[in-house]
Amino acid sequence: MNLKRWVLATVGAFVVLMVADFVVHEAWLGGFYRAHAEWWRPAAEMKARMGCLFASQLVLAALLTLVYAKGYEQGKGAVGQGVRFGVLMGLLLFLPKIFMTHFVYPYPVSLLVNWFVGGVMEVTLAGVVIGLLCKPAK
């Protein structure tokens, strides 16, 4: 695996994850979160923990890129392979998580469905970026 391509794809995936996370959790679900503020940490406390959010997304981007590079198949298009990878990883990451969250917390199913759809979309977009940036040199 080419280290330069891995770093580039990791950074690209990190940017996509952060932007997509903002779109999902601020633009798409922000109103719901504000309407149910009692379910979440206070804003100041969340802001103080933003470093953890950035670190977790960077680790996710690095691991997604590593798994992608290890499973790369020659002859498949970068975008198609990135979408396939992203959807599979999104399902792996979010489907069990949503079922466990439904079991443990009293969140409405509509919120869980939105988290699932948003999460799979985020990882799929990251997969496409990884596919485009991590492909081996010709």
CA contacts within 13 A on the Cβ side of 52? 5
Q: What is the pLDDT of residues 23-62, one digit of tens each?
A: 999 999 999 999 999 999 999 999 999 999 999 999 999 9
Could you give the CA distance from residue 101 to residue 78 in angstroms, rounded to a whole number? Answer: 33
Residue 77 gets the label, from left (phi > 0), alpha (psi -120 to 50) or beta, of beta
pLDDT the model gives residue 134 = 87
What's the N-to-C CA distance of the chain in angstroms?
14
Q: Which domain holds residue 36?
A: 3-134
pLDDT the model gives residue 66 = 93
Sorting pLDDT into bands at 50, 70 and 90, what band is 76? confident
Instruction: Check whether 75 has a pLDDT greater than 90.
Output: no
The tally of domains found in the chain comes to 1
pLDDT the model gives residue 137 = 61
pLDDT the model gives residue 138 = 61
Mean pLDDT of the residues in the chain: 93
Q: What is the pLDDT of residues 1-23, one digit of tens each?
A: 789 999 999 999 999 999 999 99
